[in-house]
Amino acid sequence: MLGLTLALLLGGLVLRWFNGVRPIAAVVIIALLSWRLVLKPEEWLLEESRRYWLGLLAALLAVYAVTGLLWQANLTRRIGEEPSTTPGYSVLVGFNQDSGGAWNQEDSQLLFSLGDAPGATAQQAQEGALEAAKDRITSGKVALLPLLRDKLRAFLGSDHACVGYVGSVVRHTKLFALACNGFYYAAMVLAGGALVRLWRNRERFAVVLLPLYVLGLTCAQMLVEVAGRYHYSLIPVLLLLGQAALFLPAPAETKIFQKNRESS
């Protein structure tokens, strides 16, 4: 009990740190809640188990929320003003049909013009971008299915963009690009095999959190700006998930047997 509590408290700190790099903490939390409430609902019928998990989840969320205030205060001190909490620009770019939901000069210039207005704050600039995004979405000019197709291709289509970052200082860039994509596609194939195996065996172990995270992050990216580098957090998840294609988690009975055997 104590060990799991400490793990979840540490998990709250790690989630906040992750969120400072990329805003993905909400995806992890939703995946965790979906696993406990939807995929393993029978444990919530037991009062003791329900109280146990509610307490642990509350501890994780409390640490995440408190550290969020500290994080915001640190950012405010460093940049001299309160950072925006509205993802207006990201949503605006995400629904740009011409750029396929990726960065583009037009939307970038709009954000800078909003931010350069006399007395404008970062929050006001993002709110202005959000209003522009609403106008774009409701204009009837966005072909949603082709846009989602382009965004999926940009988000998950390849993994060789990192080679372009160092193209001026390394040789054999084509070979490196091939190696990056080969490793990435192999991880996806192995993870796909794991999904099939988990589905056929109706497994509901914690490993199910991994495909939930992949699905959640992919869906979230379809609402905002997209770029190939945003899938980097999926690569370790795909590798962890891929091992389930080769080794399923040991049943609880086997774990108890092994523990009793070791203690005897």
| Number of independent structural domains in the chain | 3
Q: What is the mean pLDDT of the chain?
A: 85
* Residue 226 to residue 152: CA distance in whole angstroms: 8
- Tell me, yes or no, whether 152 and 225 share the same domain: yes
- Tell me, yes or no, whether 21 and 97 share the same domain: no
* Residue 12 domain flag: yes
- Tell me, yes or no, whether 154 and 198 share the same domain: yes
Final residue belonging to a domain, choices 57, 83, 109: 83
* Residue 20 domain flag: yes
39: amino acid identity, one letter: L
pLDDT beyond 90 at 154: yes
Q: Comparing 204 with 146, which gets the higher pLDDT?
A: 146
pTM of the model: 0.81
- Tell me, yes or no, whether 115 and 209 share the same domain: no
Query: Where does residue 65 rank: exposed (0-12), middle (13-18), buried (19+ CB within 10 A)?
Result: exposed
Band (3; pLDDT cuts 50, 70, 90): low
- Tell me, yes or no, whether 58 and 117 share the same domain: no
What digits encode the pLDDT tens for the residues 107-143?
Answer: 999 999 999 999 899 999 999 999 999 999 999 999 9
* Residue 263 domain flag: no
* Residue 48 domain flag: yes
What digits encode the pLDDT tens for the residues 49-108?
Answer: 778 778 778 888 888 888 888 888 888 888 888 888 889 999 999 999 999 999 999 999
pLDDT beyond 70 at 262: no
pLDDT at res. 53:
77
- Tell me, yes or no, whether 159 and 132 share the same domain: no
Burial call 176-211: b when 16+ CB within 10 Å, e when fewer: bbeebeeebeebbebbeebbeebeeeebebebbbbb
pLDDT beyond 70 at 259: no
- Tell me, yes or no, whether 181 and 201 share the same domain: yes
- Tell me, yes or no, whether 191 and 136 share the same domain: no
Can you tell me the mean pLDDT for 22-40?
Answer: 78
* Structural domain that includes position 74: 1-83
- Tell me, yes or no, whether 25 and 112 share the same domain: no
Q: Comparing 102 with 209, which gets the higher pLDDT?
A: 102
pLDDT at res. 252:
54
Final residue belonging to a domain, choices 36, 53, 83: 83
- Tell me, yes or no, whether 76 and 89 share the same domain: no
- Tell me, yes or no, whether 39 and 70 share the same domain: yes
pLDDT at res. 27:
86
Backbone CA torsion sign across 218, 152, 167, 106: negative
What digits encode the pLDDT tens for the residues 164-174?
Answer: 888 888 888 99
* Residue 249 domain flag: yes
* Residue 124 domain flag: yes
pLDDT at res. 166:
86
- Tell me, yes or no, whether 147 and 69 share the same domain: no
